[in-house]
Every structure is written in structure tokens, then in C-alpha cells.
Amino acid sequence: MSSTLVVHHLRVSQSETIVWLCEELGVAYDLKCYDREQTLLAPDVYKALSPLKTAPVIEDVDTYQPNPEHIKLAESQACVEWISRKYGQGRLINKPWDAHWKEWLFWWHFTHGSLQPALQMKLLTAALPKDHPGAKVADSRIEHYLQLIDERLGKSQYLVGDDFTAADLIMVFPLTTMRAFIPMDLSAYSNILRYLKEIGERPAYQRTFEKAETKLKPMLNANPPSLFSM
Amino acid sequence: MSSTLVVHHLRVSQSETIVWLCEELGVAYDLKCYDREQTLLAPDVYKALSPLKTAPVIEDVDTYQPNPEHIKLAESQACVEWISRKYGQGRLINKPWDAHWKEWLFWWHFTHGSLQPALQMKLLTAALPKDHPGAKVADSRIEHYLQLIDERLGKSQYLVGDDFTAADLIMVFPLTTMRAFIPMDLSAYSNILRYLKEIGERPAYQRTFEKAETKLKPMLNANPPSLFSM
């Protein structure tokens, strides 16, 4: 079976989000998996897939054009929007007239606008003394953001009311698998832990790991095993 | 004159993007400006505006709800989408059936998904030795991203074809005013410099600085003055 849509999954990376999206939407796709090098970096064959050199990358045929064109696309949120709008009737993406639209806008953009930059700063602070001002900035931002997420999840089942949306899809990677690189203790955040437990019960999330991450267990607990140190 | 929409602008910050958006769209708004503390941080009165404690913040009345509600919203891209859809008929935001939609998706999400996290890492690396692996990672990412932007702007006037879009709005701050904190030499990127020159000629961009940044000159040259060191 061959589909037009190809998802290139770099193992232990953000591209798990795209596999998961396809499973949630029930979209047909071809999955190509790549292991990291011993250096933990993506192999050259993965880097060659897109100018960005990072995961995710999808391939597809752009039938929006008068002359359909074979394309490659990177950036998680861009891939999510492409697949949802082209194959999923825009499902999981809120519209201006939907309830909770302002919450949708905030949480859909918060993960990459605020949370992930702080986590990426944290990666660097491993090289700094614990009391270095830069290390403190990253730690206090992350703590603040986790509190916000936890408060929100104390008020509704998902980030945007009680319906699972693409804002959840984008949020779960930094709270889970990204901890393979950046240890993060979630014990103080009971609502986040409740949320991750329920995410782990979603059949589409389970199928994502069965198909794309056979050696990796979903990191849904307060303290998952630390796989890598950077 | 009083509008429902209020833009809270922290001077020398990302909220210039939201002022600029309102000027581009010709939307009526009330502008409230705040100076940074001597520490360069936002004053407490600004931090109190939103749980995120960062710029931008907008206030508005959410008329999408059956019972209109006074709201505050943070995150740049969220504010851009809110204002464009509510007051600008969705102008500057591409739709799936528009030409260049795949480019739109990529560039709209690239700034916060890739470029700004690398710049925020760069802020921290000021504390590390020049040859530290972390410092090298941030530098090589930024150089790579600037090359991508420059290549793109060698092919079209704006990031998404020859029409100015919200992807440009979001891109300009990290290439310009963010350099008040993070020095970045753009001499090697002639297409970016051509682009910034044209951005500087846009009446809406000029009005943004006249209204919101009377003491700051737009940082459109290869090497703007370095205002702050963090």
C-alpha cells in the first residue's frame, strides 16, 4: 500500500507528533523511520530531506496548485496544518467561530512561542554552574510555564476546553519524549500528570509508539528514565 | 477616541509587531506604552497584564461568545491571528486555497519554531567561552537560518511570494529590534538587507515607530547600534 503522504520519522524526536496526528485523523500515510547516530544527531540522510535539517519532514503532492507538485515540508505546526486541512477537513484545528477560540490561539502558539525556547535554553544551561543567572532564567521560565499548563489542565480536560485539539498534539512532545534529552520532574504538577495519563490511553497515541518507536516507552510519568545527556 | 482593542506595548520588545499589524490593517486601537526598568525587564505593571508576563498583550471584547467577555491575550502569533480575523477579514493570513500556501505554512511557523529559539539560546551563550559546544550550536543554527531566509528573499520580494503577509510581520522583529539585545551582523545577507530596507519604507512600519518607539530608530542596517548587553 502506498500513499501520497509520507511521514519521515526521526526516532526520539518531534516527528512523533506527525505520526500521532495521522493516527488521530485516520489518514493514510507511508511511514519512514530513521535512527539517530551515536552522536544523537540525525543521520545525514535525514538532514538531506529538508533545508531545515530537523524533524519532522513530510512529503506530499501539492494539489492546491494548478500543476500538482511534489513537495517536502518541515516545521511541526506547518506539517500539522497541512495534513489536517488537506486530509482531515481541518479537524483538530479550531476556527474563529468555535467556542474557546481565544484559548485555542494561545495554546496552539504557546508551545513553540514560549515553552520550547525555554527548554532549548535549558539544554545549554547544563554547561553552566547551577547558580549562573542564565541557568536561573531558564529554570524559572520552565517552572512558570509548567504552572500555567497545570492550572489550565485543572480547569478543563484538554488545553482548549474538553475537546482534544492540535494544541494538545503540539504540547505533548516537550512534556514527554523531549525529556529523553532534558530531564524534567513533573511530580509537582498533578493536573499535567492526569493529562499525560489520559493521553497515554488514546489508541492513536499507542499506535504511534507501536509503529514508530518500538524501543521507546511513552514518557508519561513524573520522572521517566533519562536516556541521553547532552 | 476609544476602541475596544487595546495594544499594550512594552518598548523595545516584540509587541511592536502588534502595533505594526494594526497600522498595516488600518484597525482602530488604543495604544498603551510602557518603558523597561533599568534592569531591562518589563515593569511589574506590564507583567501583571497576562499570566505569561511577556510582551505582547492585547485586550479586547470577545464577541465570538454568546455573552461577550472582556479578554486579554498574549503570544505574538495568537494576537496577530485574533486581530487579523476579527478586524481585518483575515487579511495577511494565507488560506489553504491561496497560491504559496505551503510557503506560508513554513514561514509563518519558522520564526517561532526555529529562528527565535536559536536567538534565545544565543542570549545565554554570551556567558560561555566562544569555543564552547553550546555556543557553537547556537551560532551555527543562526547562520544556517539566516542563509535560508536570505535564499528565500533572493527568489521573491517577501517570504511568501510577492505579497506582504503576517509571516513577514513576525519575522521582522528578530531580524531588527531583537538585535538591541543580541548583536547580529547581517552584512553577508544582501537579500535580507534589501528586504529590511523595503520594510523600512512601508508607511505602516514608519507610523509604528512614530507612535510607539519615539526614541528608537528602526534597526534595518547590517550592524545597528548595540543598545543593551544582557
Q: Can you read off the three cell numbers belonging to residue A16?
A: 512523533
pLDDT score for A129: 74
Beta bridge partners of B31: B7
CA distance A106 to chain B (A): 6
pLDDT band at residue B64 under the 50/70/90 scheme: confident
Interface mutation vs chain B, best among A53, A54, A93, A102, most B CBs within 10 Å? A102
CB A107 within 8 A of CB A171: yes
Q: Which of A55, A87, A119 is the last residue of a domain?
A: A87
* Mean pLDDT over the full length of chain B: 94
Considering only residues A82 and B136, tell me which one the structure prediction assigns the higher pLDDT.
A82
B73 CB within 8 Å of a chain A CB: yes
**Nearest-by-Cβ selection for A116 from B99, B110, B117:** B117
Residue A2, pLDDT above cutoff 80? no
C-alpha cell at A22: 495521522
Whether A212 is in a domain gets the answer no
What is the average per-residue pLDDT within B16-42?
97
User: Same structural domain for residues A58 and A149?
Assistant: no
Tell me what pLDDT residue A128 has: 73
Domain tally for chain A? 2
The answer to whether residue A111 is domain-embedded is yes
pLDDT over threshold 60, residue A230: no
What is the mean predicted confidence (pLDDT) over B10-38?
Answer: 97
Assigned C-alpha cell, A107: 495554546
Say how far apart CA A194 and CA B15 lie, in whole Å.
35
pLDDT tens digits, A58-76: 999 998 888 889 999 999 9
pLDDT at A91: 97
Residue window 190-219, chain B: list those with CB within 8 Å of chain A: none
Consecutive H or E run containing A22: helix A16-25
Domain stops at, among B53, B87, B121: B87
Per-residue pLDDT, B218:
97
Strands (E), chain B: 6-10, 30-34, 57-62, 69-74
Judge if B110 and B196 occupy the same domain.
Answer: yes
Structural domain contains residue A162: yes
Instruction: Note whether A79 and A105 are same-domain residues.
Output: no
pLDDT of B1 reads 53
Is residue A1 in some structural domain? no
Q: Is B108 on the interface with A (CB under 8 A)?
A: yes
- For the segment B174-200, the average pLDDT, to the nearest whole number, is 96
Contacts 24+ apart (CB under 8 A), A139-148: A141/A114, A142/A115, A142/A118, A142/A184, A144/B53, A145/A110, A145/A114, A145/A115, A145/A118, A146/A184, A146/A186, A146/A188, A146/A189, A146/A192, A147/A189, A148/B51, A148/B52
Contacts for B221 with CB less than 8 Å, ≥ 6 apart? B186, B193, B196
Q: Classify residue A229: in a domain, yes or no.
A: no
Same domain, B36 and B61: yes
Which DSSP category does B42 fall into? P
Residues A134 and A192 in one domain: yes
Domain co-membership, A83 together with A105:
no
User: Which residues in chain B have Cβ-Cβ distances shorter than 8 Å to A97?
Assistant: 64
- Residue B16's H or E segment, with its range, is helix B16-25
**How far is the C-alpha of A66 from the C-alpha of B220, rounded, in Å?**
37
The answer, for B63 touching chain A at a CB cutoff of 8 Å, is no
Q: What is the pLDDT of residue B230?
A: 55
Q: Show which of A87, A118, A137 is a domain's final residue.
A: A87
Q: Which of A82, A112, A114, A145 to mutate to test the interface with B (most CBs of B within 10 A)?
A: A112
Of B73, B77, B137, the CB nearest to A113: B77
- Could you tell me the CATH number of the domain that includes residue A17? 3.40.30.10
Residue with cell 530531564: A183
B205 close to B168: Cβ distance less than 8 angstroms: no
Q: Are residues A110 and A196 in the same domain?
A: yes
SS3 A20: helix
> Is position B166 within any domain?
yes
A176 pLDDT tier (thresholds 50, 70, 90): very high
DSSP A202-224: -HHHHHHHHHH-TT-----SSS-
Residues of chain B above pLDDT 70, percent: 98
Does residue B75 surpass a pLDDT of 60? yes
What domain range is A78 assigned to? 6-87
Nearest to B106 among A53, A75, A148 (CB): A75
Edge-to-edge strand ranges of the sheet holding B6-10: B30-34, B6-10, B57-62, B69-74
- Higher-pLDDT residue of B114 and B229 is B114
Average pLDDT of every residue of chain A: 94
Residue B26 domain flag? yes
- Are residue B62 and residue B107 in the same domain, yes or no? no
Q: What percent of chain A shows pLDDT beyond 90?
A: 81
Q: Does B66 touch chain A (CB under 8 A)?
A: no
Provide the CATH number for the domain around residue B179.
1.20.1050.10
Q: Are residues B107 and B78 in the same domain?
A: no
Shared-domain flag, residues B122 and B187: yes
Torsion of CA A34, A38, A40, A43, to 10 degrees: -40
* Residue A219: predicted pLDDT: 97
Residues A82 and A105 both lie in one domain:
no
* Grid cell digits, residue B209: 515607530
Residues B80 and B108 in one domain: no
pLDDT tens digits, one per residue of A95-137: 988 889 999 999 999 999 999 999 988 887 776 777 777 778 8
In a domain, A220, yes or no: no
- More confident position, A225 or B213: B213
Name the residue of chain B whose CA is nearest to A63's CA.
B97
Distance CA A181, CA A119 (A): 10
- The confidence score (pLDDT) of residue B15 equals 98
